[in-house]
Amino acid sequence: MIDVRNVTLDIGGHPLLRDVTFSAGAGELVAVIGPNGVGKTTLLRAVAGMHDIVNGGIDIDGTPITTFSARERARRIAFVAADESPVEALRVHELVAAGRYPHHRWWEWRATPGDDAAITSAFTEVRMETWRERIFSTLSSGERRRIWIALGLAQETPVLLLDEPTNHLDVHVAQQILALLRHLARSGKTILCALHDLNDAAACADRIVLLGDGRLVIAAPPDIVLAGGALESVYKTKMERVRLDDGSLRVFARPL
DSSP 85: P
Please state, as a whole number, how many other Cβ atoms lie within 10 Å of the Cβ of residue 144. 19
Is 179 or 110 the better-scoring residue by pLDDT?
179
- C-alpha 248/C-alpha 165 separation (Å) is 23
Note the pLDDT of residue 173: 84
Cα end-to-end span (Å), the chain: 41
> Does residue 102 contact residue 71 with C-beta atoms inside 8 Å?
yes
Share of residues in the chain with pLDDT > 70 (%): 95
- C-alpha 122/C-alpha 3 separation (Å) is 27
Structural domains of the chain in order of their starting residue, each with its CATH number? 2-83+158-253 (3.40.50.300)
- C-alpha 192/C-alpha 198 separation (Å) is 15
110, pLDDT greater than 70: no
Q: Name, of 105-109, 164-168, 217-221, the range with top average pLDDT.
A: 217-221
pTM over 0.75: yes
- The residue type found at 120 is T
Mean pLDDT computed over 27-38:
96
> Does residue 121 contact residue 22 with C-beta atoms inside 8 Å?
no
Residue-wise pLDDT for 171-189, tens only, equals 888 898 899 999 999 999 9
- C-alpha 119/C-alpha 115 separation (Å) is 6
Mean pLDDT computed over 82-93:
75
Note the pLDDT of residue 84: 65
- C-alpha 8/C-alpha 76 separation (Å) is 23
Residue-wise pLDDT for 127-175, tens only, equals 889 999 999 888 888 888 889 899 999 999 999 999 999 887 888 888 9
